[in-house]
Amino acid sequence: MTPFGERVRDLRKARGMTLSRMAGELGLSPAYLSALEHGRRGRPAPGLVMQICGCLGLIWDEAAELKALAKQSHPRVTVDTAGLSPQATKLANRLARTIRHLPEPTIQAMLALLPKEK
């Protein structure tokens, strides 16, 4: 699941909206919306993010948060280590192989080591 998908699902459920109803209002199939919520689709297009914000009745801060989450929610990431140190390449490859098996507390600890995103 991506951060965007998780937030959309939480907002949808908090508003008592079924997946089928929201998909219908957006002109999407329920299968597509489910795949988007569960991170089985790529990053949503900006237009779709705006439609989702409108459908959920999001304004200002909530809409900005959802747009930011969409930008960081590509489920298949490529890391370009060209020109970086051998250690950086080793790190990227090791993380790619092991991230699926890391416990959530370890992932949170690793995120805390990185600079905050703007």
Average pLDDT rounded to a whole number, residues 28-36: 97
Q: What is the pLDDT of residue 76?
A: 79
| 98, pLDDT greater than 80 | yes
Per-residue pLDDT tens digits for 11-31: 999 999 999 999 999 999 999
Which pLDDT belongs to residue 24? 97
Please check whether residue 41 is in contact with residue 103, taking contact to mean a CB–CB distance below 8 angstroms: no
So what's the pLDDT on residue 8?
97
Distance CA 78, CA 54 (A): 31
- Is pLDDT above 90 for 105? yes
Residue 73: its pLDDT value, please? 85
Q: Predicted confidence band at 42 (pLDDT cuts at 50, 70, 90)?
A: confident
- pLDDT at residue number 29: 97
CATH homologous superfamily, domain 3-71: lambda repressor-like DNA-binding domains (1.10.260.40)
CATH 1.10.260.40 in the chain is located at 3-71
Complete DSSP assignment for 13-55:
HHTT--HHHHHHHHT--HHHHHHHHTT-S-PPPHHHHHHHHHH
Instruction: Round the average pLDDT of the chain to a whole number and report it.
Output: 93
Compute the average pLDDT of residues 59-86.
90
